[in-house]
Structure 1
Amino acid sequence: MDMEEYAKRSIVEKKPKTETIEKLSDIILYYKDIGNEKARLLAKAVIEEVETTLEIDNDLTDYYKTNIHMGEFGVGSRGKGDFYVHSKIAEIIRNTDCQSLVNPTAQDDGGVVKVDDTYYITTAIDGIHSRLSDYPFLAGFHTARATLRDVCVMGANPVAIISDIHLADDGDISKLLDFTAGICAVSELTGVPLVAGSTLRIGGDMVLGSRLVGGVGAVGSSKNIPQARSNAKAGDVILMTEGCGGGTITTTAIYNNYPEVIDKTLNVQFIKASQLLNDYERIENIHAMTDITNGGLIGDCNEINKTTGLGIHLNYDKIKNLIDPSVLEMLDTLDIDALGVSIDSLMIIVDGQAKDEILELLTKNNIKCDVIGQITNTSKTIIEYEDKCEELTPKFREAAYTPIKKVVDNLYDENYDENIKIIDKATLSAINKKNKVVKHIKERKL
């Protein structure tokens, strides 16, 4: 519970201060056993701080208000709203005078810079799955695995892991330890060390509760040009490895009571497959790799279409056969579209002449893999079923995989076209602020 936000809303809405103090004191006592007097002192201090901040009138402390909320626009839900906001973040980066080989403008899995004409350095970061806060070991495991995966698919070998953990004021310290142990389990299984990190409280003293958030990052290096999605070519063959799921499938299993599926997600097969391919002698025949995570195949194919201008033709039966049977059974039983959730498979886009050799390499190492389609020049993703073909387009959100997501799917009215105009203005405002501050600091010559 965000005390600062509660106090700010109450003040803006001109609620009586005595009423705000009483209600905030009750909320504090719900979380903390500190007695009425101390709760009231804390409530008063929160209100005093917030009142002070509301008196500040400064461009640096203000920002353009869209009045469009994260959940309302589907940010973080791996649908078209989320993809659009990420494109706006990329726009700010594109309007920054600082260069890299691959950055978020490519909507790729990781970013890449070149160092002294010899090495390519790849970085990636992934956030904790929001519904794994009460399952810190699983949160750490899957976040670490995800960030290593993002480095691997760019053609780099991961060399280090970093961690950033934020735990709310009433969170049990053991969550920090279990989260770290989850990261270190992946570290030990892959031989990539956890080398640095940060540990903080969410909102300092202002946020009550036990919510755990944060992220895990990874750094990798290679001597090869990164395998960005933009390298895909018409006529390329698309391979996919077996998917057992990660954080999303674990969350689905927990909140729908399929505990037996959780164990299926605990593996590092994806990373081993990526490392095998990164060491492949004719790596130039592997044009691109990506993990099937952001909104499932629907999301990833859409990003490839936008980045390359090319199309994709997929075979549904081949895809279905590469999803772990227990995972697929759970998704089918719960009526969750397997194409719209993260199944953590590896998608490999290769020169057609190399596909048999690559399939043999993976099979020999006990990694299940098959051809699921090809790259076309249609600029669309088409999926082929036994009796029909359909265009695969991103929905507003990824497939709803928990009971609350099924409700949220129908909670908001979609004003997508109007909202993007407002978000465009907010993006321009942020770029202008950045330019103004940079100019001001340069002119000071400090």
Structure 2
Amino acid sequence: MDMEGYVRQRLDSYNENDLKDLLSQRIREYKNISQDKSLLMAESVIDEVKTTLNLKNADDSFLKEITEVPKADIAMGEMGVGSRGAGDFFVHRKIAEIVSSTNTSSLVNPSEQDDGGVVKANSPNDELYITTAVDGIHSRLSEYPFLGGFHVTRATLRDICVMGADPVSILSDVHLADDGDVGKIFDFTAGVAAVSELVDVPIVAGSTLRVGGDMVLGDRFVSAVGSVGVSNYPPTARKGATDGDIILLTEGSGGGTITTTALYNGFFDVIWDTLNVNFVQASHALFEADLIKDIHAITDVTNGGLRGDAHEISNTTGVGLEFYEEKIRKMVAPNVLNMLEKLDIDPLGVSTDSLMLIVPPEIVDDVKNAVSSAGVDISEIGVVNTSGEPILIKEDGSSDKLVPLFREAAYTKIKKLVGETTPEDFEIMKEKVQKASDNAICKKEKVINHIRGN
């Protein structure tokens, strides 16, 4: 529970003494303390919030401006942010616009909507490309820190691998709410360390904080894991896809999303399918075979499933992608596919954590042999053409355009209640989000000019 947010929402509509009593009751739901102490805590929270509100009356108009949020009046859940669908992709493009407005240079940045970013280092002897990536723990794995740590570490290492880089280090950032058991931190770190040891990539740095400090009650656990990779070759970004290329896919058994699906729908045995490092092993095999430099593009089937990835690749590059449904289904681990079918979840709309490679025809066999040598199944699932659209050839011979849903395929009961359909006012929502993004860029420019003395 966010006490600060709780007070801010009610301060104008509640008598202060009533609000203090109400908040103190909520505090005692989480903390075993006396009524007197809970009232003192509530009073302190209210006082702190009221003090910050005085900023609105400050004489410094510029300070007031930069401390006010450029609101979109659209909530995260309304827009589907984090749900890996059309709304989420739109917001990420707005984030990319803010990043691009800095006019700093990199080979791959958020504007490409790739998994990791790449810069070229000044190396006296040869070319050196540095890739960085960061991923957050799956929100529904807060109660299962080891699994959360394991899968978020795999995720960030995948993001390094798909850019054609070799992972060299891991960083961990942990946030546990005030009432959380310290053991959660250790459990999460053990999950991160398990992947670290399995793939021989060291954990080199990190940070440990409380969620919201003293202001947030409960034991919610959130975290992120980052990684760094290096390569002597240019990145295998999505924009490298070329007409005539063959699309290959490794078998996917899922990560955080599939684990969450299994946990909250009672398919507990499927969790074991997800506990592997096949993705990194397959990528390492491509390094060992010196094939990375010849591969045109690599991505992982995560954000919104293959539907989302296909749409983003086509949207970014302008090429067309033709996929074969029957071949794709064979590349989903049998236990995982069985679970998805029983739960009526679209396998093309969720993260299966497959490795998708877009390669020129002449190296298809070499790539397949290298990946297979690492014990990972791989198959041809499609081709790149000039149609400009991602198309799915269905098992009955008909075809459909692959379009991401507003949210990724619903894989828990509450997600099914929230739904996947696009809101009727989506275009209006986008306009509001665009305005908030523009305002954020404007604020950034004003602050930079102020600091530079302009």
Q: TM-score range by the shorter chain?
A: over 0.9
2:183 paired with 1:174:
yes
List structure 1 runs of 4+ shifted beyond 6 angstroms: none
Match of 1:46 in 2: 45
Q: Name the aligned partner's letter for residue 19 of structure 1.
A: D
- Give me the identity figure in percent: 53
Which of 390, 399, 404 is the aligned partner of 2:409? 399
Correspondence list, 1:261-300, <5 A: 261-300=270-309
2:118 paired with 1:112:
yes
Match of 1:332 in 2: 341
Match of 2:92 in 1: 86
2:436 paired with 1:426:
yes
Match of 2:449 in 1: 439
Match of 1:382 in 2: 391
Structure 2: tracts of 5 or more residues without a match: 57-63
Measured in 1, the distance between the counterparts of 2:217 and 2:208 equals 17
Report SS of the residue matched to 2:363. helix
Measured in 1, the distance between the counterparts of 2:441 and 2:173 equals 27
Query: What is the CA distance between 1:146 and its match in structure 2?
Result: 0.4
Query: What is the CA distance between 1:274 and its match in structure 2?
Result: 1.0
Q: Name the aligned partner's letter for residue 97 of structure 2.
A: E
Query: What is the CA distance between 1:411 and its match in structure 2?
Result: 9.8
Structure 1 contact 102–111 (Cα < 8 Å) conserved? yes
For residues 37-93 of structure 1, what are the alpha-carbon distances to aligned partners after superposition, in whole Å with 9 as ceiling and x for unaligned? 000000010000111111213112112121100001100000000000000000011
2:76 paired with 1:70:
yes
Match of 1:313 in 2: 322
Query: What is the CA distance between 1:11 and its match in structure 2?
Result: 1.1
Relative distance call for 1:242 and 1:411 in structure 2 (3 A) is closer
Relative distance call for 1:334 and 1:207 in structure 2 (3 A) is same
Measured in 2, the distance between the counterparts of 1:6 and 1:222 equals 48
Match of 1:9 in 2: 9
Structure 1 contact 156–226 (Cα < 8 Å) conserved? yes
CA-atom RMSD in angstroms: 1.2
Report SS of the residue matched to 1:160. strand
2:127 paired with 1:128:
no
Measured in 2, the distance between the counterparts of 1:251 and 1:159 equals 28
Q: Name the aligned partner's letter for residue 35 of structure 2.
A: N
Query: What is the CA distance between 1:311 and its match in structure 2?
Result: 1.1
Give the stretch that moved more between structures: 36-45 or 111-120.
111-120
Report SS of the residue matched to 1:393. coil
Match of 1:29 in 2: 28
Query: What is the CA distance between 1:414 and its match in structure 2?
Result: 4.0
Structure 2 contact 160–167 (Cα < 8 Å) conserved? yes
2:105 paired with 1:99:
yes
Measured in 2, the distance between the counterparts of 1:23 and 1:165 equals 31
Query: What is the CA distance between 1:124 and its match in structure 2?
Result: 0.2
Correspondence list, 1:224-235, <5 A: 224-235=233-244
Query: What is the CA distance between 1:212 and its match in structure 2?
Result: 0.4
Match of 1:212 in 2: 221
Match of 1:186 in 2: 195
Relative distance call for 1:282 and 1:146 in structure 2 (3 A) is closer
Measured in 1, the distance between the counterparts of 2:236 and 2:422 equals 38
TM superposition score normalised by structure 2: 0.96
For residues 217-238 of structure 1, what are the alpha-carbon distances to aligned partners after superposition, in whole Å with 9 as ceiling and x for unaligned? 0001111111110011011000
Measured in 2, the distance between the counterparts of 1:71 and 1:376 equals 36
For residues 240-297 of structure 1, what are the alpha-carbon distances to aligned partners after superposition, in whole Å with 9 as ceiling and x for unaligned? 0000100000000000001100011000000011121233334333101000000100
Measured in 1, the distance between the counterparts of 2:278 and 2:350 equals 19
Query: What is the CA distance between 1:364 and its match in structure 2?
Result: 2.6
Match of 2:381 in 1: 372
Measured in 1, the distance between the counterparts of 2:395 and 2:436 equals 46
Structure 1 contact 72–412 (Cα < 8 Å) conserved? no
Structure 1 contact 245–342 (Cα < 8 Å) conserved? yes
- Residues matched between the structures, number: 443
Measured in 1, the distance between the counterparts of 2:421 and 2:380 equals 39
Relative distance call for 1:108 and 1:384 in structure 2 (3 A) is same
Report SS of the residue matched to 1:100. coil
Which of 266, 281, 300 is the aligned partner of 1:257? 266
Report SS of the residue matched to 1:60. helix
Relative distance call for 1:440 and 1:226 in structure 2 (3 A) is same
Structure 2 contact 240–296 (Cα < 8 Å) conserved? yes
Report SS of the residue matched to 2:39. helix
Give the stretch that moved more between structures: 369-378 or 357-366.
357-366
For residues 287-339 of structure 1, what are the alpha-carbon distances to aligned partners after superposition, in whole Å with 9 as ceiling and x for unaligned? 01000000100011111011101111000110101110000000000000000
Match of 2:252 in 1: 243
Measured in 2, the distance between the counterparts of 1:66 and 1:18 equals 32
Measured in 1, the distance between the counterparts of 2:294 and 2:50 equals 61
Report SS of the residue matched to 2:119. strand
Query: What is the CA distance between 1:415 and its match in structure 2?
Result: 1.7
TM superposition score normalised by structure 1: 0.97
Give the stretch that moved more between structures: 243-252 or 376-385.
376-385
Relative distance call for 1:144 and 1:17 in structure 2 (3 A) is same
Report SS of the residue matched to 1:338. coil
Query: What is the CA distance between 1:342 and its match in structure 2?
Result: 0.2
Query: What is the CA distance between 1:366 and its match in structure 2?
Result: 1.6
